[in-house]
Chain A
Amino acid sequence: EAGVAQSPRYKIIEKRQSVAFWCNPISGHATLYWYQQILGQGPKLLIQFQNNGVVDDSQLPKDRFSAERLKGVDSTLKIQPAKLEDSAVYLCASSLVPQGTYGYTFGSGTRLTVV
């Protein structure tokens, strides 16, 4: 089966600019996650979708971050305006089982550098 697709692979922007990341999960996976992985740290959950509804966005900085999942399939994560501390790898993951108890399938991530 095809994996989780993410684009772009790399992005460099100046602070205060906006940026968007795209994720296409594995077909049939109802649950989609966005993680932020700062250099030297483990991934941290930003938002979780079940189909096209938000299950948890408690750790999403809503003053600058937003996310949507179109028709319960593709998802877009946006940052506006970006700050230097947003430099990180943004990972998208999906799971077939809602609770993800069988583990998630991750994409290769987008490395964001804010200068």
Chain B
Amino acid sequence: AQTVTQSQPEMSVQEAETVTLSCTYDTSESDYYLFWYKQPPSRQMILVIRQEAYKQQNATENRFSVNFQKAAKSFSLKISDSQLGDAAMYFCAYRSVYNNNDMRFGAGTRLTVKP
């Protein structure tokens, strides 16, 4: 079964600085999707960025970008020019293309942004 590991329970960054959140996963599948979700105190999970495993190019969304290393099964999230509103829990998630079920989430990383 696929597992997702986020080894950093907590991270902090100074406003306007850059921070990288780590995620590794375990799978025997060759094609899949990876996601980063943000969960603010409102509890709503918000999709930040999405990566298709068969695409070598790293996904970017404004200040958010990923470093996808397929061979290493690593999927880190870089937040540039951090803003106070970026403070939240961040979850990495894995989704199989062969299995209709079960988007698997990591345990999350709590990001604090210092003014």
Contacts and interface: CB of A to CB of B under 8 A. Distances in A.
Given A42-B4, A42-B107, A109 B101 contact: no
Interface of B: 4, 33, 35, 37, 42-47, 50, 52, 91, 93, 95, 97, 100-108
Interface of A: 3, 33, 40-45, 48, 50, 55-56, 58-59, 89, 91, 93, 98-109, 111
Contact of A43 (B33, B101, B105): B105
Q: How would you classify the secondary structure of chain A's contact residues: helix, strand, loop or mixed?
A: loop
A40 B44 contact: no
Contacts of A104: 45, 47, 103
Contacts of A108: 42-44
A42 B43 contact: no
Contacts of A100: 95, 103
A108 to B, nearest CB: 5
A50 to B, nearest CB: 8
Q: Which of A50, A104, A105 has the most CB of B within 10 A?
A: A104
Contact of B100 (A40, A56, A91, A106): A56
A94 to B, nearest CB: 12
